[in-house]
Amino acid sequence: PDLHLVRWAKSLHSLLGDQDGAHLFRTFLEREKCVDTLDFWFACNGFRQMDLKDTKTLRVAKAIHKRYIENYSVVARQLKLATKFFIRDCMKRQQIDSTMFDQAQAEIQTLMEDNAYQMFLTSDIYLDYV
Amino acid sequence: IDSEDDLLQECISSAMPKKK
């Protein structure tokens, strides 16, 4: 377990690459009422791996857009206006691309690294696990 | 047809780390 904890503290990526780490971070974000940021981050990764020829991919893009971008969700509120416009434009023209959520994901990731992740490493949830 | 929520959940789950 010690190795786990050292790895989780190394970077957000190493935390999220580990099943137990991602689960514990999710529990923490649920309590902080911003679990959507993590779900969005994973949804972007999942979307990037999808086949653009599959009709399902457009439906998933629409679902991500509706759930996280076009409302006042915790994700939408943290994204730059230009980033939201870009995604909205892609959706309007139905021009789906594997990288269409990359900028939005990068913005959310930076915010998670600077805020939620730092808070997590000093939280009782993490320290109790230690 | 899967609902929007199911599709989204499936997409999120596909990217979650698997048990080593």
pLDDT in tens, B1-20: 679 999 999 999 999 998 76
Distance CA B1, CA A14 (A): 36
Residue A16, SS3 per DSSP: helix
Interface test with B, best of A14, A29, A40, A45 (most B CBs within 10 A): A45
Of A16, A46, A56, the CB nearest to B12: A46
Distance CA A86, CA A84 (A): 5
Query: Half-sphere exposure of A77 toward its Cβ, with a 13 Å CA cutoff?
Result: 6
The answer to whether the CB atoms of A42 and B8 lie below 8 A apart is no
The answer to whether the CB atoms of B16 and A19 lie below 8 A apart is yes
Nearest to A54 by CA among B12, B15, B7: B7
ipTM of the complex: 0.91
The mean pLDDT of A105-112, rounded to a whole number, is 98
Nearest to A125 by CA among A13, A35, A17: A35
